[in-house]
Amino acid sequence: MSVKNAMTSEFLHSAYGGESMAHMRYLIWGDLAEKEGFPNVAKLFRAISYAEQVHATNHFRAIGGETAAATVAAGGIFGPNKTADNLRGAIMGELHEVEQMYPVYLHTAEFQNEPEAKRSFHFALEAEKQHASLYQQALDAVTEGKDIALDSVYICPICGHTVLNGAPDRCPICGTVKEQYHGF
Ligand code: FE2
Ligand code: FE2
Ligand code: FE2
């Protein structure tokens, strides 16, 4: 299956690029947090990196079997900094997705009657809201020189839903059962 409309297709490519970059950026920042003595922030970065992989995978699938060059002009934060700076960058990126990017992409997919893109954008939008809030919790802790308090982070492999300390019986976004969640 592939998308019918050029604008939705463009948005899927852009979102795929943005999610791919976020996936790698969070892995890098996870390693840096570990080195800086924040193992739980590192765990959060790595878990959310996986959630971004889930989003990239959904967008990639929704684009369909297209062979084409695509230039990605994704907004992003570059470079390694201190963990507090990296968390600020992460929050900025997540809020951009929640407030600007995904609402516009989602409404376009709805308007253009593109069910697969709509599903993919909806899943990402809902998960990014949790990411912004969890990174803010982490930043609050790190600002006080502490690690974030958490035991584990669970990610839904279908939509990227992200939750601390144990998975729900069913994903509140997509309905996936608890046993499917990936634990970090
Ligand atoms: Fe994402
Ligand atoms: Fe995210
Ligand atoms: Fe889910």
pLDDT bucket at 3, cuts 50 / 70 / 90: confident
Per the domain annotation, does 178 fall within a domain?
A: no
Per the domain annotation, does 131 fall within a domain?
A: yes
Average pLDDT value for residue range 130-144: 98
Q: How much is the pTM?
A: 0.94
Given a contact cutoff of 8 angstroms between Cβ atoms, the answer to whether 153 and 47 are in contact is: yes
Q: How far is the CA of 103 from the centre of ligand 2 (A)?
A: 14
Given a contact cutoff of 8 angstroms between Cβ atoms, the answer to whether 56 and 12 are in contact is: no
Per the domain annotation, does 173 fall within a domain?
A: no
* Distant-in-sequence, close-in-space partners of 25: CB < 8 Å, separation ≥ 6: 76, 77, 90
What's the pLDDT at 81?
Answer: 87
Average pLDDT value for residue range 124-134: 98
Per the domain annotation, does 133 fall within a domain?
A: yes
Is the alpha carbon torsion for 95, 98, 99, 104 positive or negative? positive
Q: How far is the CA of 48 from the centre of ligand 2 (A)?
A: 6
Per the domain annotation, does 155 fall within a domain?
A: no
Which CATH number goes with the domain that contains 36? 1.20.1260.10
Q: How far is the CA of 19 from the centre of ligand 1 (A)?
A: 5
d(CA 150, CA 60): 32
Listed residues: CB within 5 A of ion ligand 2: 94, 128, 131
Per the domain annotation, does 29 fall within a domain?
A: yes
Please state which of the ranges 39-43, 78-82, 154-158, 171-175 shows the lowest mean pLDDT: 78-82
pLDDT score of 40 more than 90: yes
Tally of domains within the chain = 1
| C-alpha 179, offset from chain centre | 21
Domain region containing 146: 6-150
Please give the structure tokens belonging to residue 93. Answer: 């990126």
Per the domain annotation, does 183 fall within a domain?
A: no
Provide the strand spans (E) within the chain.
153-155, 162-164, 182-183
Rounded to the nearest integer, the mean pLDDT of the chain is 94
pLDDT bucket at 75, cuts 50 / 70 / 90: low
d(CA 172, CA 83): 30
Average pLDDT value for residue range 107-117: 97
Task: Give the closest ligand to the alpha carbon of residue 168.
Answer: 3
d(CA 87, CA 82): 9
